[in-house]
Amino acid sequence: MARESVGKTFVVAIVLAAFCSLLVSGAAIGLRSKQEANKVRDRKKNILVVAGLHDAQTPVEEAFQQVEVRIVDIESGEFVAGDQFDPETFDQRAAAKDPELSVAIPAAKDLAGIGRREKYSLVYLVKKDDKLDQVILPIDGKGLWSTLYGFLALGDDLNTVRGITWYEHAETPGLGGEIDNPLWKAQWDGKKLYDPQGNYKFQIVKGQAAQSGPAADYQIDGLSGATLTANGVANLVQYWLGEDGFKKMLERLKTEGV
């Protein structure tokens, strides 16, 4: 072959492409476990943030020791025995897609737009002086462009919101992405989800929420220019706090304790 030829150019390009693809796939495989570990750590950090237990000085793993991880059978509202699943390794998102570990949600009930719901869910308990202080619930559902994944923290009355956070979504920054705005999230703190009769009453209002009167306890402002994402959030929270979600577990905790 001539020193400079079309054939040689192709050979060099092919060898270079093969080398680079090996490098990229090798890096992807080699770093997978690290990426997974980082995801788990990020989720734990979000749980600490929503529970108001995060501070930059304390390592996440150390702070997370204040959190008790349980697995609940959503349909019965009962916690499952430790030997059925290991809360450390239980992959809830994989379970939500597994036909054995999930149930189809009839369209009329599927407020969260997720199609299937896992039968078992992780829940996180925070205790103070041996008494339940907070319950943190994983929540997910459709926004406008993406599925939103987050956590909702409830206080010891199992009705008052202590915080909400999202660890994954792909809504538009500046529009739906404003669900991450600390000022918007701060409005959730102290709001009630159910009325004294146990009916779900929380609302995200298009425009401004009631500032006084009986409705003020149950409302927050909508997101201007992002009503569709805000509606998604309202619907998914209602779904997960409803009969098909965590309501049975919350009622059981109220009557029987942890």
Binding site residues, ligand FMN, CB under 6 A: 144-145, 171-172, 175-176, 224-229
Nearer to ligand FMN, 145 or 200 (CB): 145
Contacts of 31 (CB under 8 A, 6+ apart): none
Least separation in angstroms between CB 75 and ligand FMN: 32
Cα–Cα distance between 225 and 207 in angstroms, integer?
A: 10
Rounded to a whole number of angstroms, the distance between the first and last alpha carbons of the chain is: 79
Q: Which residues pair with residue 135 across a beta bridge?
A: 125, 154
Least separation in angstroms between CB 218 and ligand FMN: 20
Least separation in angstroms between CB 185 and ligand FMN: 16
| Single-letter amino acid, residue 156 | D
Nearer to ligand FMN, 190 or 225 (CB): 225
Nearer to ligand FMN, 67 or 228 (CB): 228
| Single-letter amino acid, residue 218 | Y
At residue 158, φ and ψ (nearest 5 deg) are 60, 30
The DSSP output letter for 138 is E
At residue 256, φ and ψ (nearest 5 deg) are -105, -15
Least separation in angstroms between CB 188 and ligand FMN: 18
Nearer to ligand FMN, 185 or 247 (CB): 185
Nearer to ligand FMN, 135 or 179 (CB): 179
Least separation in angstroms between CB 221 and ligand FMN: 11
Least separation in angstroms between CB 8 and ligand FMN: 47
| Beta carbons of 193 and 159 less than 8 angstroms apart | yes
Alpha-carbon distances of 128 from 66, 70, 125, 158, rounded to whole Å: 9, 17, 10, 15
At residue 140, φ and ψ (nearest 5 deg) are -155, 160
Nearer to ligand FMN, 103 or 228 (CB): 228
Nearest residue to ligand FMN, scored by beta-carbon proximity: 176
